[in-house]
């Protein structure tokens, strides 16, 4: 059962931090990051986080790099009524594009925002007049979604970060009050896993990491 009673489990403050040296004396946090798995939204059920737990998750969510201290993100926690209302919007938009859709397809779209106990919509609030490039502000928004997933895992909850077609639909954005010139960066579904997720294939480090002493674009010595 997920719990917020985490104070006793916190590792002791490492006194070597701040002096240029950190001793790894507790690997629980790194183990969490190395083992975190998303759970398919359809397999996320009750219970969801309490309000107190949600506050912890949301607080962790915004502890992200934010060049320029812009705060270029917004989080909306949709309750059951709001989830159902969003489902109605999805059905309307889906039928406008696929009028021949059958009842099963319509029911799926209506239930899409209601697949898990909690739904957090993360959208951008970009300041395009700021000197910080837009891409850096968007990356900060993505970091919020990642932090939400990690915070959920730390509290024992399952979560999945999705976008799917609703994130790119203008009517959906309007219904959520997201300006047309901003972005829905993620829909984060949260609850309890109906079954433990299996591991997925990850790339070997050597395929995505290069340790370099020279720059690949630099001329060879003596050339």
Confirm whether 95 is domain-assigned: no
Confirm whether 212 is domain-assigned: no
**Nearest Cα residue to 185 out of 203, 167, 171, 202:** 167
Residue 39 has pLDDT above 50, yes or no: yes
Task: Please give the pLDDT value at position 14.
Answer: 47
Confirm whether 59 is domain-assigned: yes
- Integer CA distances (angstroms), 120 to 32, 52, 58, 98, 189, in order: 22, 15, 9, 27, 7
Residue 4 has pLDDT above 50, yes or no: no
Confirm whether 158 is domain-assigned: yes
- CATH number, domain with residue 54: 3.40.109.10
| Cβ-contact 1, 48 below 8 angstroms | no
Q: How many domains does the chain have?
A: 1
- Rounded to whole angstroms, the Cα distance separating 192 from 155 reads 11
- What pTM was computed for the model? 0.85
Confirm whether 144 is domain-assigned: yes
Instruction: Identify the weakest region by mean pLDDT among 5-14, 20-29, 198-207.
Output: 5-14
- Domain range for residue 168? 36-79+116-194
pLDDT averaged over the chain? 90
How does pLDDT run across 125-152, given as a tens digit for each residue? 999 999 999 999 999 999 999 999 999 9
Confirm whether 110 is domain-assigned: no
Residue 17 has pLDDT above 70, yes or no: no
Confirm whether 189 is domain-assigned: yes
Confirm whether 163 is domain-assigned: yes
């Amino acid at each position: 059962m997920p719990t917020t009673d985490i104070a006793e489990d916190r590792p002791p403050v490492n006194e070597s931090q701040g002096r240029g040296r950190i001793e790894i004396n507790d690997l629980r946090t790194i183990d969490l990051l190395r083992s975190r798995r998303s759970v398919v939204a359809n397999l996320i059920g009750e219970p969801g986080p309490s309000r107190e737990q949600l506050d912890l998750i949301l607080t962790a969510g915004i502890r992200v790099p934010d060049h320029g201290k812009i705060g270029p993100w917004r989080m909306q926690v949709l309750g059951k009524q709001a989830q159902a209302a969003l489902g109605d919007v999805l059905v309307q938009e889906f039928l406008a594009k696929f009028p021949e859709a059958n009842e099963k397809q319509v029911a799926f779209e209506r239930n899409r925002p209601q697949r898990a106990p909690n739904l957090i919509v993360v959208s951008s609030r970009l300041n395009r007049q700021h000197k910080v490039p837009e891409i850096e502000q968007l990356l900060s928004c993505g970091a919020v979604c990642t932090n939400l997933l990690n915070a959920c895992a730390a509290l024992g909850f399952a979560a999945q970060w999705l976008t799917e077609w609703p994130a790119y639909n203008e009517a959906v954005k309007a219904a959520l009050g997201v300006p047309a010139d901003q972005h829905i960066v993620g829909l984060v579904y949260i609850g309890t896993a109906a079954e433990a997720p299996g591991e997925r294939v990850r790339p070997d480090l050597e395929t995505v990491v290069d340790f370099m002493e020279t720059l690949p674009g630099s001329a060879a010595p003596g050339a």
